Structure 1
Amino acid sequence: MDDLLLKTLVVDDEPLATERLQLLLARLGGIDLVGTASDGEAACRMAEALRPDLLLLDIAMPGMDGIDVARELGRSAGRPAVIFVTAFDQFAVSAFEVEAVDYLVKPVDPKRLERALERARAHLSRRGSGAEEAAPPPGSHLEEFWASDLSGLVRIRAIDIDRVSAERDYMRLHVGTRSWLIHHSMAALEEGLDPAQFVRLHRSAIVRRDFISGFQRNASGRWIARLADGTEQPVGRLYADCVREIAGR
């Protein structure tokens, strides 16, 4: 697959966004743009007729949205790889659930797009060699989030997150002395974040493993995690086994 052109279908209801993606793809090379579609229904019809290797797929579209398109195409044999390209960050967990190769937020950075295309090639190569089940594709875990702040949107790498705390319907991502709210569920984040890097310690808390400096018991015998910034995180009763797993005992 590395030596072949990626047959690519661009799906976006905004003509300017479609044009920008076409220009970026032309500069990067290695792409055979087989068509464009402006809504989900047309995307499904064109994908069935053209059999693209890859969809660059918007999410928020009238009628059938991008998540629905990916779910529909995922039922077919030889399904295309999907890279979501959207103006919103809150669909990242849904994108993970439909096995998207990557998730890009507009305006698309050319280098970020290039990395996403490399992932798509690797994903398709593994699938062609029958190794898809043996090796999970890059990007199978959430790698980044986009959060709003006063200046616009901020990209937050998952590996930079110290801990996640729940605040009603929102999750707060803590990075050093700063934090941002995103609209996700704790269960979806637990599933999406790499378990080799993150562990859920409480129904309302996920912590990066190397941010935990130790454990101690309180007066009632409950475990408390000591964190690298000097704060403490109670360990829920349902998650007490995590202490033994982390400590290797």
Structure 2
Amino acid sequence: MGWNIVIADDEAPAREELVYLLEQLADVDRVTQANSGMDAIKKVKEQAPDVLFLDMDMPDLNGLQVAEIVGELNSQVKIVFSTAYDQYAVDAFKVRAFHYMLKPFDEDDLDSVFRELRKTRTGTGTKAPAIPPAGNSCVKLALEMEEGIKYVSPKDIIYISKEGKYVQVHIRDKAYHVTYTLVELEQKLEPFGFFRCHKSYLVNLAAIAELKTWVNGAYNLLMDDEARSTIPVSRNYVKALRLKLEI
């Protein structure tokens, strides 16, 4: 079952931008637009959406007021605040917001939101992370190649990248094209300490040497390989990455 979504924002360009990004997602079925707080409440009553993307600053009712009313109407609606201001984040989570996105948003922002949304449907959000069986150090990732199959230990993989349609597994001095998707590799390698830091990158946490600040609040990872590879970190993943890396 695809996602039924309502977007509430008094600025038409912001709504259209979000509509465009949502329409790129295969599991989004319906997107309805609301141009004010009252219109958002009306659309929620009519559409019974799964998700409400809600602007914080609107002329009739602000986002927090709408969230409180929507919570009384339909407590199952997941509210994602989409705003240009970060000072409302604490108040947003007081009304049990599911997520908080800062404008201007992009594919990485939505990727982070929908990764969490999908977990609520599959139930994976409540499960403990998978742990490799004790003593099973011989487990390897099978890389299909023209001359056969190469087996690579997860600990030898530095990072995995996606460029266009192609996915590459990078070890210390070489990269291999693979037929796996990045999502498939993420699922296979998460128990071995891999982390999705960007829509196009999966990194081995043990192979991270530095987290370096970049421009506009962005970060880069410096990897511990021969090339000292630099990997971008989407801003939505920075907090989760630091929690996994730091004692």
- The TM-score normalised by the length of structure 2 is 0.49
- The TM-score normalised by the length of structure 1 is 0.49
